Amino acid sequence: MTEITGVSGELPPGKIAIIASRYNAGICDSLVQGSIETLTAAGYDDQQYQVIRVPGAWELALVAAELLDQSDCIAVITLGCVIKGETTHDEHINRSVSDALMRLGIETRKPIGFGLLTCNTLEQALQRSGGTVGNKGNEAAEAVLELLRLSPKLDASTRPV
């Protein structure tokens, strides 16, 4: 059995978009910083990624779709934070955005980093944006990098002999 991973290997040229919500700005700023740190450590410079701000989590998928249609965009990282309130509004936003981003990734076959925090409390969000649980912005960027390395390996491994 052969195991194929994207943990190592070359990263492709192209642009990566970091799409981040302005809502819950302090938390989203920390997520953006985590993604930038990860991309920079992997060798991407500030000419190869761009941060695009949207009003809230709801708009993440629409802007991701527009950017992924551009030929030089190789991936997007989506970052946001929805904290449960008194109603079920958060559940509708979280499920809709999650489903739309998954569908978009399958349709475009380009990596989408999922950094949408879906927390019950502000404290949970703080812990996931650089606190004791880490930074989900870093994790979303790491997932994108791994998929970018994995994709050409899948192409090579699935060709008929």
Task: Say what the pLDDT of residue 161 is.
Answer: 53
| Catalytic residue numbers, as ranges | 89
Given a contact cutoff of 8 angstroms between Cβ atoms, the answer to whether 110 and 151 are in contact is no
Per residue in 74-121, pLDDT (tens digit) is 999 999 999 999 999 999 999 999 999 999 999 999 999 999 999 999
Given a contact cutoff of 8 angstroms between Cβ atoms, the answer to whether 58 and 21 are in contact is no
The CA radius of gyration of the chain, in Å to the nearest whole number, is 16
The three-class DSSP label of residue 102 is helix
Topology of domain 17-147, per CATH?
Rossmann fold (3.40.50)
Domain borders along the chain are 17-147
Mean pLDDT throughout 1-30?
94
